[in-house]
Amino acid sequence: MSVQIKNLNKSYYLDTQKIEILKDLNVEIKTSEVVAILGSSGSGKSTLLSLLAGLDFCDSGEIRFNQIDIARLNQKELTAFRAEHIGIVFQNYYLVSHLTALENVLLPLEIQNKMTLPEEAINLLQKVGLGHRLHHAPGELSGGESQRLAIARALISKPQLLLADEPSGSLDTETGKKVMDLFFEQVRANGTTTVLVTHDRGIADRCDRVLKLENGQLCDI
């Protein structure tokens, strides 16, 4: 899936003070391209991913997936589109608290009515090192374990677009390396268009393109 962002503007209001986060941001991402986004804390990286995921709204501008403007979708269509095509690994994980780890991974497939064997989900959970935590609820997992669960859940349905916000941010060096190896292996094998926010230059250098978010705009570096 290709992504076109045109003249995107997003600001927040603090009382009456307008804080501009994204300012006439433009970028085109090709199908299967893996793009890293770097930028200092508070520069607006997570804000940009939320807009791409359709979880927040821009002030003005366009976001197109395969040339289709997502602003033209109603809430129901947007939710269906997200469930079918977009994988999300966000900083707050968005895990379903009353389901076990295994059920959380199976959920995207159930939503899409894709028949699958639990073995596939178990296999993926084993690969992220959670084979011994299949029946734990998210509240019973550590921060890094929750992060790995969120990654497994995002990868299982082979989404056309993967949005990942510092997916290895809570992991130690060794676990982070293993999980990111799996991440890159899967997105490359599936041709998943990927937007990966990271503070780690080593991870960014494994991507096709590295962009920096600065002063509300993205530039190639």
Ligand X SMILES: Nc1ncnc2c1ncn2[C@@H]1O[C@H](COP(=O)(O)OP(=O)(O)OP(=O)(O)O)[C@@H](O)[C@H]1O
Which spans of this chain sit near ligand X (rule: CB under 6 A)?
A: 12, 14, 21, 39, 41-47
Binding-site partner at residue 104 among ligand X, Mg ion, none, CB < 5 to 8 Å by type = none
Q: For ligand X, give the closer residue by CB, 23 or 188.
A: 23
Binding-site partner at residue 193 among Mg ion, ligand X, none, CB < 5 to 8 Å by type = none
Contacts of residues 74-83 at CB distance under 8 Å and 24 or more positions apart, as own/partner, are 78/54, 81/54, 82/53, 82/54, 83/108, 83/111, 83/112
Q: Which residues bind Mg ion (CB under 5 A)?
A: 46
Q: For ligand X, give the closer residue by CB, 17 or 113.
A: 17
Nearest approach, Cβ of 14 to ligand X (angstroms)?
6
Nearest approach, Cβ of 197 to Mg ion (angstroms)?
6
Nearest approach, Cβ of 27 to ligand X (angstroms)?
15
Q: For Mg ion, give the closer residue by CB, 46 or 157.
A: 46
Q: For ligand X, give the closer residue by CB, 156 or 171.
A: 171
> What is the arrangement of strands in the sheet containing 17-29, beginning at the earlier edge strand?
17-29, 3-14, 60-65, 68-69
Nearest approach, Cβ of 188 to ligand X (angstroms)?
25
Which residue has its beta carbon closest to Mg ion?
46
Angle between helices 101-111 and 143-156 (to 10 degrees): 30
Nearest approach, Cβ of 28 to ligand X (angstroms)?
21
DSSP string for 182-214: HHHHHHHHHT-EEEEE-S-HHHHTTSSEEEEEE
Chain center to CA of 202: 19
Q: For ligand X, give the closer residue by CB, 48 or 106.
A: 48
> What is the arrangement of strands in the sheet containing 161-165, beginning at the earlier edge strand?
86-89, 161-165, 193-197, 34-38, 209-214, 217-220
